[in-house]
């Protein structure tokens, strides 16, 4: 998969997170899959996406109790 395609898909994930925050668990899993794809293809993973992944994990920990 081309790097540009991955960027578009991740941008769509972020848009969905903005408009449908109740689906954060699904979005977190989708983001993890996309990052795994990037890593698997030897593409660089942008630092801001790694920070987003970490922030989602922390936020979801809080909501779980």
pLDDT of residue 65: 58
Residue ranges making up the domain that contains 14: 3-64
- Count: domains in the chain: 1
Residue range 2-61, pLDDT digits in tens:
778 877 887 887 787 777 767 788 888 888 998 999 899 998 888 888 888 898 888 888
Give the pLDDT band of residue 1 (cuts 50, 70, 90). low
Q: How far apart are CA 18 and CA 13, in angstroms?
A: 9
């Amino acid at each position: 998969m081309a790097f540009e395609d991955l960027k578009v898909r991740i941008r769509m994930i972020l848009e969905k997170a903005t408009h449908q925050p109740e689906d954060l668990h699904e979005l977190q899993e989708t983001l993890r899959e996309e990052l795994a794809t990037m890593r698997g293809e030897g593409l660089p993973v942008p630092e801001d996406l790694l920070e987003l992944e970490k922030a989602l994990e922390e936020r979801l920990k809080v909501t779980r109790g």
